[in-house]
């Protein structure tokens, strides 16, 4: 009976290996990587890998892979962890690109994957840095215009003004005319005084006779 038992055990082992689901292939066939492995928050990363050619064809992993990481944007999740879907190609490879939220805190984050209800058994590490400050590029300064040099007109020096110089003839007329007027006025005044005196003191007859005798 012992040979029968041995043969039955061998047949059972063979049947067990043949009925193992394709997604339960050894984890060593699966790969996972992220590029770049270090990125500033607000920039994009690409997660790629493979579920293994034997695990993709005709299995539940052939439809797609769910990538999990707390570094991803939280639009969908699996068990509370942000998730990202990636389609699996016929050769078992996959690739997906996502943008790390700018508000994500700096640090190291683990990326894992699932397909067919089980983990891929591999992981990748992403280092998130603080977001870079936006830089403002100054506007280019246009070169100075070239052309003929324009010399501004010379400004004449202010003239030094002083008391006006009067011509000699003007000065002479200024003093001569008043002098003549004063002389004429004085002459008229003297004649008037003399006439008044003669009127009040006429000549006596004896003085007049002496004047005639003398003659």
174 and 85 both lie in a single domain:
no
The mean pLDDT of 139-145, rounded to a whole number, is 69
100 and 198 both lie in a single domain:
no
Q: Which pLDDT band, with edges at 50, 70 and 90, does 84 fall under?
A: very high
Number of helices (H), then strands (E), in the chain: 4, 9
For residue 72, is it within any domain? yes
Query: Would you state the pLDDT for residue 19?
Result: 43
98 and 180 both lie in a single domain:
no
Does the structure show a pLDDT above 80 at 207?
A: no
Which comes out higher in pLDDT, residue 97 or 200? Answer: 97
For residue 140, is it within any domain? no
124 and 176 both lie in a single domain:
no
Q: Cα–Cα distance between 38 and 127 in angstroms, integer?
A: 5
97 and 183 both lie in a single domain:
no
Q: What is the pLDDT of residues 18-59, one digit of tens each?
A: 444 444 444 448 899 999 999 999 999 999 999 876 555 556
Of 50, 47, 95, whose CA–CA distance to 71 is shortest? 47
Length of the chain: 215
Tell whether pTM > 0.85: no
For residue 42, is it within any domain? yes
CB 14 within 8 A of CB 66: no
Residue 174: give the domain boundaries: 170-203
**193: burial class by Cβ within 10 Å (0-12, 13-18, 19+)?**
exposed
């Amino acid at each position: 009976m012992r040979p029968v038992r041995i043969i039955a055990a061998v047949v059972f082992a063979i049947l067990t290996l043949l009925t193992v689901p394709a997604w339960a292939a050894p984890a060593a066939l699966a790969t996972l990587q992220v590029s770049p492995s270090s990125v500033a928050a607000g920039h994009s990363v690409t997660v790629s890998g493979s579920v293994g050619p034997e695990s993709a064809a005709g299995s539940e992993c052939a439809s797609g892979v769910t990538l999990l990481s707390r570094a991803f944007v939280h639009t969908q999740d699996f068990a509370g962890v942000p998730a990202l879907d990636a389609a699996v190609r016929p050769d078992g490879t996959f690739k997906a690109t996502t943008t790390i939220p700018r508000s994500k805190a700096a640090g190291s984050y683990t990326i894992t994957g699932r397909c067919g209800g089980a983990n891929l058994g591999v992981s990748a590490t992403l280092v998130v840095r603080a977001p870079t400050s936006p830089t403002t590029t100054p506007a280019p300064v246009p070169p100075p215009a070239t052309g003929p040099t324009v010399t501004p007109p010379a400004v004449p020096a202010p003239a030094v003004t002083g008391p006006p110089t009067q011509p000699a003839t003007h000065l002479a007329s200024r003093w001569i005319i008043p002098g003549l007027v004063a002389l004429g006025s004085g002459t008229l005044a003297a004649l008037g005084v003399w006439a008044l005196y003669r009127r009040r003191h006429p000549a006596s007859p004896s003085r007049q006779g002496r004047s005639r005798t003398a003659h």
